[in-house]
Structure 1
Amino acid sequence: MTRPLQQPAPRRLNRSPLRPRALALASALCCALSAQAIELKSDDPDTRIRLDFTPKYSTAYRLQDPSAVLTSPAARGDGGVVNENAGDLNFKKGFVSSRFDLLTEFDYSRGNWGLRVSDAAWNDSRFLGNTGTNTAAGVNPAVSSSVGKNNQLLDAFVYLKGSLGERPATLRVGKHSVQYGETLFFGQNGIAGAQGPIDIGKILSVPNWQFKEVLLPVEQVSGTVSLSDQLTLGAYYQWKWRPSLIPGVGSYFSNQNYIGGGPVYFGAPLPPVLNTDNSKNQTPGNSGQFGAQLRWSPEGSAFEYGFYAARYHDKTPAVPVFDLINGNVHNTYAKGIETLGASVTSSIGQLNWALEGSWRHNAPLASDPAVLGGAPFMPSSQCSGDAGNPCYATGNTAHLNLSGIYVLSKSAWWDGGALLGEVAWNRTLSVLNNPSARGFGGLDPNTTRDAAALRMIFEPQYYQVRPGLDLSFPVGLGYNLAGRSSAVVNFAGGGSKVGDLSIGVKGKFQDGWNLSLNLMTYFGSANTLTVPDPLGTRMLSFGQTLRDRSYLAFSASRTF
């Protein structure tokens, strides 16, 4: 399903109470939604009923026309580019989004139990009707009218607060989000990557996101119990697998035409055209996803420790599979990944810092597309996401995330605010399956053993600039520092020495209105997602696929 530009407000997460002051401030700065709500009356003093409506309008303006390097086979000398340029060609310089959102939230609580339901609806006139560019090069048409007008059920769960024996405990059942670990931005590089699908469209289209805002709810049961004053145990079991939301083929941020798209065009020795068939996707099934955490705050210590374990199925495709035998393109998802991790967090003055490390077994590695059809391609029998028969490389990997939140004190330069930052690193420790590549489902030859990236948000805040008006000026930066990750597919956007920069202003009125204006730009060497390798197949380019898609975005919202 295509996710157009601006997305709904973040949902509440079942997360440890770590870093409460700093995280609360960071959330207030980066989300900036009014706390107004409709309180419904009840004759029972123990009952609270709240209904929130958050209407929002947003628009975005593309600042330049499509680049020939990213869209033209002639400029590239590469016929394969026609499978990766629909999203770029569908939008010239000008408005690329005109969207209305409505986020509806209902909360009911009575005594020690309650329920929560939330729903997001949207309508983007830029996506209503055909915006495709059906050219001789074979560019796929853009998203259908149903994508520009839709709704999505977010949270739908009941919860219970009580005690287990004499110790406090909580329980949630239904569709909700759970996030373990300490990550601010690089959840896919940490323990949190095991715990749910993500909204990739929101990562690409909303400046200054945090991982907790892009993590999507899933059907599960989760709970916590306090074992002592120093120890808290948490666990969850998911009974539904859901894929991450990837921008639909032909939408503004789409950089490929073969994951959920239409016909895919090839050159010799492959057939000239294969049709995408999502009904053939090799999905992992709904069972086998669970995890636990143990939080330890030693008495008298300034440190808090976390220990984690999980088993999960990947939510984004490991590779597209070009099935020459059955004449289709479909996707395969990795399953049965196991992960262990630990974290530590503490504070130094105004700075709250956290370090998280984890290890993964049987993880999907960055691989070339799989081609089925006998020699010299992969065997003609269907490969699967099973550990013994994957369509991609698998291995053991190591991951580190170091993050910090610095709370800005009042000074001559600002009234308050925050600086959030995180550095992520990963390494492929060993390759378990399909170490050779060259376009046939193995480890991509353009990857490296190690990779690192950073992301940060600096947002000074100014109160009562005018009566009833607070302003803040967020600046966001993301940059892939080193390497081309083999350990995490599409790590930090999938580029090498590339990044993004956003500069904005946000206004919050005391009557509840929130306005924002942001400039988003991308830097680094421009290239499409894949390029030919010496054998005439495809390999990952690690270039900046969004180099020509800088835009200016405006939004206005209010919660009633």
Structure 2
Amino acid sequence: MSCFIREENKKPPRLTILAGLIAAVLTSNANAFKIDTPSSDWEVNWDNTVTYTIGMRARGIDPLIGNNPNFDDGDYKFRHAGDIVTNRVSMVSEFTAAYKGYVGFKLSGSAWKDFAYGSGNATNPGVFAPAGGGLPAVTYQSLAAYPNRQYGSFTNRYYVQGAQLLDGFAFLNADVAGKAVYVKAGQFTEYWGNSLLFPFAGISVAQGALDSIKGLSSPGTQTKELLLPRPQVSVTAQVTPEVSLSGQYALGWTYNRLATGGTYLQANDAIAQGPSGLLVTTLPGSRVGHPGGWVPVFVHQGPSNTPPDIDNNFGVKLGWTPSFLSGQIGFYYRRFDESQPWVLTNWKKGLPTDYHLAYNRGAQLFGISMETTIGNAATGFEASWRRGTALNTALSSNIANQTEGATGDVLNLIANAIIPLPNAPFWQTGSLTTELAYSHLLSVRNNAAIYNGVGYRGCPSNNKWNGCSTRDYVGLGLLFNPQWLQVFPGVDLSMPTSMTVGLYGNNPQNPGSSAAGQGFFNFSVGLQALVRQKATVTLAFNGYHAHVNGTSVTPSGLTYASSGSGLYDLNDRPWVSLTVQSWF
């Protein structure tokens, strides 16, 4: 049985518009805007960042990907090399006010518009299953992520146009019994630990939902830049000159922002942040008219199983800065609901009756981190044990009614270093960032029958190259950014280059090989100009690659890639981006 889950291009912008925008940015007064107040006790700032990105598909459709009904919506939305896959203008605005530096508030928000997505959804124009035996033909359009060709509300908001509140909090720096105390309350991000490039393995996991859309479209983005603000309260007290104590309590929860079906960098047509998808399962049958006796079975997405906003999500951190160490050691305990969904199914008489998203509740984390300087390199290390965490879960009938996926205990280790580049013949300065991540499955606690792991019933193929998790996973991330100063008057150049790759195994943690699989890598190679400290202009080539392990044939006779490890649907979607950004 093979399972398929599923949740017109605009013309390229006129070059004169793009040239005019670049000219306007480069001639703007791009300094932070400080607001004068009647009293010098108040410091008030209003900062704005404007970004324009245009992206172009770099190769055409690979039929092995475009013929897969899981992937055709994203592939055919922008089907030709040279098609514009994003044409996006966005703005982030931040307002901060502080009285004597010890009390104040911050508000920030963003708004965006992408002109490339205005024409709605598209699909493979062909036939998935031919007519016969009194059955009508099944077209790819009938299996579309959006049957009416119009995007759902979530996709419209985050891809076409929308706005959101980011930070909205008040803060207080106080002296309590001679001890410095810092308090924040409202909506903001909190980031613990030292992980830089592997968000599913770090101590910071689910401290806030991840913006996975940004992670896919901007390879090399660091973990702390992917976290979305959440309502919470945090307190830090400097107990002694060497010891601090921090606490965090969450007042709200939300899910990871996933790339949805029908968008260029989707993981699967079915992915939707709401009950609007469709599961298409092809089962062996005797219905005539379908070659090989395959009969499509359609299963709609049911309501998601989400945690309540307030669900005893909290964390405690003890920070120690010993005199013998030029750095800090941290000790952590966290209890949290996870923000990455399982995709679960309910079954009756061997047939799926629905599929739905569900989120693990009450995972626990015990961790330790250390950061220090070795020579001229800033180094970090962290180790964490996650108890009852979400594991990679299969679309399997081994459990009939599924309210939660597989859970278990996992050990995660991360080591990283940020190394400044010395003056050399090929660059003047710059930096190299590297991170190594290791995950080890200690045990499967619950629902082992649907754990998608080698050696378990949820992985009948027993093959990691089909996406089944292994007990151990090793991943590597690199950020290489050489710089050349004053190449032209007022212009510094750099070459931001990044890559993350699975070196060995598939991560046992949810979402498994989709985020961290052996051989799966994404990369970006760019050239960036910093112009007069007012703006950046970045040209980049972005690509993705995962292992394809098997092919199948549709009932209409079309060959497609049907199994693999990692996001192999992105193998034919490299793209070139040009980004202009200015701040004022």
**TM-score normalised according to structure 1 size:** 0.84
Counterpart of 2:306 in structure 1 is 283
Counterpart CA distance in 2 for 1:68 and 1:496 is 24
- Do structure 1's residue 244 and structure 2's residue 231 form an aligned pair? no
Change (3 A) 1:311 1:202: same
Aligned residue identity for 2:400:
P
Do residues 60 (structure 1) and 55 (structure 2) align? yes
| Structure 2 portions without partners, runs of 5+ | 1-6, 8-28, 126-138, 285-294, 463-467, 555-561
2:213 pairs with 1:181: no
Secondary structure in structure 2 of the residue aligned to 1:202: helix
- The AA in structure 2 aligned to 1:549 is R
Task: Give the letter for the 2:438 counterpart.
Answer: W
Q: In the alignment, does 2:372 pair up with 1:346?
A: yes
Cα distance change of structure 1 residues 69 and 108 upon mapping to structure 2, 3 Å threshold? same
CA deviations on 1:110-154 (whole Å, 9 max, x unpaired) are 121111111111100111132322741223246355540111111
Structure 2 residue matching 1:178: 3-state secondary structure: coil
Residue in structure 2 matched with residue 140 of structure 1 by the alignment: 145
Amino acid at match of 2:395: P
**How far 1:501 moved relative to its partner?**
2.2
Q: In 2, are the aligned partners of 1:504 and 1:519 still within 8 Å (CA)?
A: yes
What is the CA distance between 1:500 and its match in structure 2?
A: 1.9
CA contact (8 A) 1:443 1:486 kept: no
**Residues 22-37 of structure 1 correspond to what in structure 2 (within 5 A)?**
36-37=31-32
1:378 counterpart residue number = 399
Instruction: Mark the CA change 1:543 to 1:513 in structure 2 (over 3 Å): closer, same or farther.
Output: closer
Q: Secondary structure at the match of 2:224?
A: helix
What is the DSSP-based 3-state SS (H/G/I as helix, E as strand, rest coil) of the residue aligned with 2:307? coil
SS in 1 for 2:240: coil
3-state SS of the aligned residue for 1:502? strand
Secondary structure of the residue that 1:204 maps to in structure 2?
A: helix
Is 1:322–1:370's contact at 8 Å kept on the other side of the alignment?
A: no
How many Å apart are 1:528 and its aligned residue? 9.4
Distance 1:442 1:174, change over 3 A: farther
Q: CA deviation at 1:471?
A: 0.9
Which ranges in structure 1 are unaligned for 5 or more consecutive residues?
3-33, 73-80, 372-376, 385-389, 533-537
Q: 2:45 aligns with which of 50, 72, 77?
A: 50
Q: Which residue of 2 aligns with 1:126?
A: 116
Question: 2:283 aligns to what SS in structure 1?
Answer: coil
2:98 and 2:329 mapped to 1: Cα distance? 32
Report how far residue 275 of structure 1 moved. 2.1
8 Å Cα contact 2:56/2:575 also seen in 1: yes
Which letter does structure 2 place at the counterpart of 1:482? Y
1:432 corresponds to which of 445, 448, 456: 445
Residue type at the aligned position of 1:100: V
In the alignment, which of 146, 164, 171 is matched to residue 176 of structure 2?
164
Q: 1:218 to 1:489 in 2, by over 3 A?
A: same
State the superposition RMSD in angstroms.
2.8
* Counterpart residue number, 1:486: 508
Shift of 1:207: 3.1
Distance across 1 between alignment mates of 2:229 and 2:480: 28
Question: What's 1:11 paired with?
Answer: none
Q: Which of residues 82, 87, 95 is equivalent to 2:74?
A: 87
Percent identity of equivalent pairs = 26
Count residues in correspondence: 501
* Correspondent of 1:104 among 83, 93, 96: 93
Partner of 1:259: 271
Scaled by the length of structure 2, what TM-score is found? Answer: 0.80
Residues 60-79 of structure 1 correspond to what in structure 2 (within 5 A)? 60-72=55-67
- For residues 540 and 337 of structure 1, the distance between their equivalents in structure 2, rounded to whole angstroms, comes to 29
1:478-503 deviations in Å (ceiling 9; x for gaps): 11000012134235724321212211
Radius of gyration: which is bigger? 2
Alpha-carbon distance in structure 1 between the residues aligned to 2:113 and 2:551:
29
Q: Which of 214, 217, 220 is the equivalent residue of 1:205?
A: 217
- Does the C-alpha gap of structure 1 residues 222 and 492 become closer, same or farther in structure 2, counting only changes over 3 Å? farther
Task: Map Cα deviations across residues 6-33 of structure 1 (whole Å, 9 max, x no partner).
Answer: xxxxxxxxxxxxxxxxxxxxxxxxxxxx
Displacement, 1:367?
1.1
1:38 corresponds to which of 25, 28, 33 = 33
Deviation at 1:303, TM superposition (A): 4.7
Change (3 A) 1:35 1:192: farther
**What residue number does 2:483 align with?**
461
CA distance, structure 2, for counterparts of residue 321 and residue 436 of structure 1: 13
Give a deviation string over 1:224-255, Cα, whole Å, max 9, x none.
Answer: 11011111111100010111100111111112
Which residue identity is paired with 2:44? I
